[in-house]
Structure 1
Amino acid sequence: MKKLIYTLVLALTTSLGFSQTTIQIDSEIDGDLYLANKDSKQLAIIIAGSGPTNKNGNNPAGVKANSYKYLAEGLKENGINTFTYNKRMFAQMKNQTAKEEDGRFEDNVKDLNLVIDYFKKEYPSIILIGHSEGALVATLASQNNTAVSKLVSLQGPGESIDKTLYKQLTAQAPFFAKSVEDIHNKLRNGEQVTDVPPMLMSLYRPSVQPYLISWIKYDPTVEIQKVKQPILILQGDKDLQVKTDQGDNLKKAMPTATLVTLKGMNHVLKTVVKDDENLALYSKPDVPLHTELVPTIVNFIKK
């Protein structure tokens, strides 16, 4: 039945000139298929970054950049079928069934594998484009998966999340260095922390600690070495969240990967002209993507 519905969707999409179509993967995961070529056996899947980031690249924290939407449209215009999807948490929040304390990092990988399984018969060559945290999700899903033909680590971290958080937090509040390290030591050992300072509670609240414990054990430089497919490591030198040393770390771990640094690109994939306008671009959906982003990914996919 699923394949019959999918065939009908493809037929309808064809008659509409390969427009964007909503696809339901299961009862809680949905996304948009940007169909460019009905005869192509390739499909690019964009995997979102951390938190409640939706299929278009926006989230309630003030990010309204439409980055994934524009990326999918750009790939479609270059003949590449592309799928973007909402995380399971969106349906759960809507249905009021979300339980933060039950979340684990591996859930993201399982859900991506569901998406891959849904499409792999129709598209036996799947390219994963993981953004930020989604890059690690895509890396794990690529390992030993013959349906995945290529991997794009788009502004993906090159160190475990505890190291990233430590740098970010101590840069703003160096006096929290010992508290943060004490918390991380316990999380690394799989222990929950009860004595979290009030100013750090939003990040290390008890309900999110199980997720952090499951995430902290993954070192991207170790995991990327388990990927057998061709890899593109793509980053921007104006990224405030994932610095270029992260991509450099990944390249050192996987010398056969292609590393590209786009001058002027920030974390939401747009061009920064003046440094003081970087954050403002997070909430400007009408600003296009960095001009070299789509061509760089297209060239990697098609070569």
Structure 2
Amino acid sequence: MVFSIHATAEQVVQIPGPQGPLQGALLSGSAPSAPLVLIIPGSGPTNRDGNSPLGIGAAPYRLLAQALAARDIQTVRIDKRGMFGSRAAIADPDQVRMQDYAHDVRAWVEYLADRNSQGCIWLLGHSEGGLVALQAAQNSTGVCGLILAATPGRPMASVVRDQLEGNPANQPLLPEAMSIIRSLEQGKAVAEVSAPLEPLFRPKVQGYLISLFQLDPGQLINNISRPVLILQGTEDLQVHTKDAQALATAKPDAIVKLLPGVNHVLKEVPEGDTQANLRAYAQRDLPLAPGVVEAIVDFVKR
């Protein structure tokens, strides 16, 4: 599809996917030579706005795109292969692997970099999307640099273990859950999963989880020669400051920005108030936390 990369209003854009188009939304400001940021969504059924039918309505990606456009930074925020606007790209989204998402991001990079006056674009990956960005940027031309927001700095199996162990209600499920995680780390699917663990480990998504658990964020970021910004909120319930520190250890020249009072969906929440933190996941009218947009603008325009 041909479109003007310097349009001033949001418009749908698409590129070829494996079985149908991959789709996203372009939003840009008034500057004809503005940098362009590709926003890569996080895990599960997360759409281009950063919302999910699993109870997330905070729209962090849409709010971020609007704030960046006001500062003359263009964005394209995308729907993942097999979901939402990109649902025709594959018949069964459960068959997608992390390598497929990285392949799609490289296709977006190739398409958009050729149409951007700077000749390259910035990758902004949120949460699991940060791992996709790291994969896509391996030996990839057309990438100006990476912005890793709330991105795991350890293999995801370790992150999932921490998340499960952090909730006392999961205590009876931990022996089975840890056994499943060990099997998936070894590349082995598990045939039987108890009902309480089905949402996380159902057999149809285990192939995806195996591909996810194989990734080492430290090794991936160590291979990146482009500039990297690491954004991490101190009130993030899913990814912790130790993840940002691990990424920074693996890439000492990365810029690290810790955001006090900021949660996983980039909203400001009261310190230590878990219920208020979780409520913010559904609050679209709650603005992005102070410091989020400023850190990105400073990094991209420096």
Q: Which moved more, 1:91-100 or 1:224-233?
A: 91-100
Q: For residues 196 and 37 of structure 2, what CA distance do their matches in structure 1 show?
A: 40
> Conserved in 2, the CA contact under 8 Å of 1:238 and 1:263?
yes
Q: Does the CA contact (< 8 Å) of 1:92 and 1:98 recur in 2?
A: no
Which segment is superposed worse, 29-38 or 133-142? 29-38
CA deviations on 1:28-78 (whole Å, 9 max, x unpaired) are 321111122453162111110001111111110111111101101111111
Counterpart of 1:167, as a letter, is: D
- Equivalence map 1:215-234=2 (5 Å): 215-234=212-231
Matched, 1:60 2:59: no
Distance 1:91 1:62 in 2: 16
Q: Deviations 1:209-231 (Å, cap 9, x if unpaired)? A: 11011111001111110111010
Q: Judging changes above 3 Å, is the alpha-carbon distance between structure 1 residues 137 and 46 closer, same or farther for their aligned structure 2 residues? A: same
Q: Distance in 2 between matches of 1:114 and 1:53?
A: 20
**1:137-156 matches, cutoff 5 A:** 137-156=132-151
The alpha-carbon distance between structure 1 residues 95 and 25, as it changes in their structure 2 partners (threshold 3 A), is closer
Distance in 2 of aligned mates of 1:118 and 1:197:
44
Corresponding letter in the other structure for 1:180: A
Structure 1 residues without counterparts, runs of 5 or longer: none
Q: Which residue of 2 aligns with 1:112?
A: 105
Report what 1:19 is aligned to.
9
For 1:205, the equivalent position in structure 2 comes to 202
Deviation at 1:197, TM superposition (A): 2.9
Residue 296 of structure 2 corresponds to 297
Distance 2:144 2:266 in 1: 24
Write the distance in 1 (CA, Å) between the matches of 2:230 and 2:180: 31
The answer for the alignment partner of 1:43 in structure 2 is 36
**Distance of aligned partners of 1:290 and 1:201 in 2 relative to their CA distance in 1, 3 Å threshold:** same
The separation in 1 between residues aligned to 2:64 and 2:211, in whole angstroms, is 30
Unaligned runs of 5+ in 2: none
Aligned counterparts, 1:89-238, within 5 A: 89-91=82-84, 98-123=91-116, 124-172=119-167, 173-238=170-235
What one-letter code is carried by the residue in structure 2 that aligns with 1:295? Answer: E
Matched with 2:245 is 248
1:71 equivalenced with 2:71 (yes/no): no
- What is the number of equivalent residue pairs in this alignment? 293
TM-score by length of 1: 0.91
Cα distance in 1 for residues equivalent to 2:77 and 2:266? 16
Q: TM-score, normalised by structure 2?
A: 0.91
More displaced stretch, 91-100 vs 59-68? 91-100
The Cα shift of 1:171 comes to 2.5
Change in 2 beyond 3 A, CA 1:61/1:127: same
Residues 250 and 6 (structure 1 numbering): CA distance in 2 closer, same or farther, change over 3 Å? same
